Structure 1
């Protein structure tokens, strides 16, 4: 098991192992592998310390927000919606569906939890 970008990677292949890092999906994982010259079937256990360093340098060059920074950005965006009192922010605070789904027959759980919160 390797430790890539402050995350324990339990996957066998590097392509899938990079996806276990919060903020890296299939596309970014593929970009990182191509940029560093790794094949899709490169094993995580075969990584050297120098290659681990190269991976972290590549992520910094791409300017990808990871883990705490990404979570902080998402929270700031949600707080901004709440302070502007947009429909999305109000519905999110109430625990109701945000994107126009019906609530008459669906979304029972959020409606139940809304009354329990008060």
Structure 2
């Protein structure tokens, strides 16, 4: 089993899709990494040799910010917006949609379970 950046990649998937299980690597980035290391997209994760896994691991370490470091930087960016008091920061702080979506009828994912006001609660 290949373990890269603290993530166990699924054995039976093709490597181009297996790499996308790492936070910060999508399909495009995965293909760029494989091109740089000279590994075929069609190989399965369990077919990789130790040298190929090491090559992928080195490529990711040298050129990309992934997993913990990326999560930390995203959290710091959001915290900076909140500290500035910008509109986006206020929306983050209140737990509302940040990117201009309407909130009258939708946005249940961000707002949470309905809070019934007046009338009978179901």
Bucket of the pairwise TM-score, normalised by the shorter protein:
0.7 to 0.9
Q: Does the CA-based 8 Å contact 2:33-2:60 persist in structure 1?
A: yes
**Alignment partner, residue 16 of structure 2:** 15
Matched, 1:69 2:69: yes
Q: How many residues align?
A: 114
- Relative distance call for 1:89 and 1:114 in structure 2 (3 A) is farther
Q: TM-score, normalised by structure 2?
A: 0.82
1:109 positional shift: 5.7
1:105 positional shift: 2.4
Alignment RMSD: 2.0
Q: What 5-or-longer segments of structure 1 have no aligned partner?
A: none
1:74 and 1:112 mapped to 2: Cα distance?
22
Q: Does the CA-based 8 Å contact 2:108-2:114 persist in structure 1?
A: no
Q: TM-score, normalised by structure 1?
A: 0.85
Any residues of structure 2 matched to 1:55-94 within 5 Å, and which?
55-62=56-63, 64-94=64-94
**Alignment partner, residue 118 of structure 2:** none
Matched, 1:97 2:94: no
1:49 positional shift: 1.4
Q: Does the CA-based 8 Å contact 2:7-2:22 persist in structure 1?
A: yes
- Relative distance call for 1:110 and 1:54 in structure 2 (3 A) is closer
1:104 positional shift: 2.1
Q: What 5-or-longer segments of structure 2 have no aligned partner?
A: 116-122
